[in-house]
Amino acid sequence: MAEQTTDAEREAIRVLVVDDQELFRRGLVMLLAIESGIEVIGEAGDGVEGTTLASSTAPDVVLLDIRMPKRTGIEACLAIKDAVPSAKIIMLTVSDEEADLYEAVKSGASGYLLKDSSIEEVAQAVRVVADGQSLISPSMAVKLIDEFKQMSRPERDHVPGLRLTERELEVLRLVATGMNNREIAKELFISENTVKNHVRNILEKLQLHSRMEAVMYAVKEKLLELP
C-alpha cells in the first residue's frame, strides 16, 4: 500500500509558474496546488529568473506569461527549451494577437491559454501537455484555423519535397481537428501508442517540435486541406 502512494506521488506533474503580475501568479500557484496530480515546484516574476529556476528544477510543465520584464516569454521559452528540452511550455497571457500565438508555437510552446481561462481549463492544459499533446484556447484555435486557410491559398502548384505516408496524413488531419491521441486511436481503430508513434514520426520527418507546428506546416505545404 505504501508503494502505491509513492507511485502516485512520483506521477505528480511538476509545474513552474512564471509571471510578473504577483497577484495573478500567487493566485494561480494556490489554485494549482490543490489540484490532484499537480505539484507546483516554484514561481518566478520575470523571464530571466524563470529560466534560471527552470534550469535548476527541471519542471515537467512551465506556465509562462508572454509580456514580462528582463526577458520576454518568447525569449524565455526558447531559453528554457534549450536548457530543459523535456519541459513543456504553456503560454498563459492576456494577448489574443495571432502574431504572439505563432511566435509561441515556433518557439516550442505546447499550449497557449488566455488569462481569462478557468482554473479547470489551466489544470487540464497542464495535464494535456504533460502527456505530450498540444492545447490552445478555443478562441485562438479559430484564429489559427483561419490563418491555416490563408496560408493554403497561394502557390497551388507547389509540391512539397517531404511526403508523409497515408496513415500519417490521416493522423495529421485528425490532429488538425483538435483530437487528442486517445480520440484519434478510437477514430482509426488503432492503439494510442501507435498514434504517439505516428505523431513522433510526423514531427521527425517535418523537422518540427510540436503538433501545432506540424499542422501549420502541413497546411502551408498542401499536405492536407482544411474545410
Angle separating helix axes 138-152 and 211-220, nearest 10 degrees? 30
In this structure, the answer to whether residues 89 and 121 fall within a common structural domain is yes
Confidence category of residue 146, pLDDT binned at 50, 70, 90? low
Q: Is residue 225 part of a domain?
A: no
- Residue 84: what pLDDT? 92
Q: Is residue 226 part of a domain?
A: no
Q: Where is average pLDDT lowest: 91-100, 135-144, 212-221? A: 135-144
In this structure, the answer to whether residues 123 and 211 fall within a common structural domain is no
In this structure, the answer to whether residues 76 and 132 fall within a common structural domain is yes
Q: Is residue 110 part of a domain?
A: yes
Choosing from 140, 170, 196, the residue where a domain stops is 140
In this structure, the answer to whether residues 56 and 168 fall within a common structural domain is no
Confidence category of residue 10, pLDDT binned at 50, 70, 90? low
Cα-Cα-Cα-Cα dihedral sign, residues 167, 169, 172, 174: negative
In this structure, the answer to whether residues 206 and 120 fall within a common structural domain is no
In this structure, the answer to whether residues 157 and 188 fall within a common structural domain is yes
| Calpha distance 40→33 (Å, rounded) | 6
Examine the pLDDT at 153 and tell me if it is beyond 60. no
Q: Is residue 227 part of a domain?
A: no
**19 within 8 A of 68, measured Cβ to Cβ:** yes
Residue 17 maps to which CATH number? 3.40.50.2300
Q: Is residue 5 part of a domain?
A: no
Higher pLDDT residue, 157 or 34? Answer: 34
In this structure, the answer to whether residues 71 and 126 fall within a common structural domain is yes
Choosing from 110, 140, 170, the residue where a domain stops is 140
Q: Which amino acid is at 112?
A: Y
Radius of gyration of the chain (CA): 18
- Residue 162: what pLDDT? 60
pLDDT in tens, 106-126: 778 888 888 888 888 889 889
Q: Is residue 6 part of a domain?
A: no
In this structure, the answer to whether residues 66 and 136 fall within a common structural domain is yes
Cell output for 90: 504553456
pLDDT in tens, 35-94: 889 999 999 988 899 999 999 999 999 999 888 878 888 889 989 988 999 999 998 877
In this structure, the answer to whether residues 24 and 69 fall within a common structural domain is yes
**78 within 8 A of 107, measured Cβ to Cβ:** yes
Q: 189 is in which domain, residue-wise?
A: 150-220
Residue 164 maps to which CATH number? 1.10.10.10
Confidence category of residue 17, pLDDT binned at 50, 70, 90? very high
Cα-Cα-Cα-Cα dihedral sign, residues 90, 39, 203, 71: positive
Choosing from 105, 140, 175, the residue where a domain stops is 140
- Residue 63: what pLDDT? 94
In this structure, the answer to whether residues 21 and 47 fall within a common structural domain is yes
Total structural domains within the chain: 2
3-class SS shares of the chain: helix, strand, coil, % to 5:
55, 15, 35
For the chain, the maximum distance between any two Cα atoms, rounded to a whole number of angstroms, is: 63
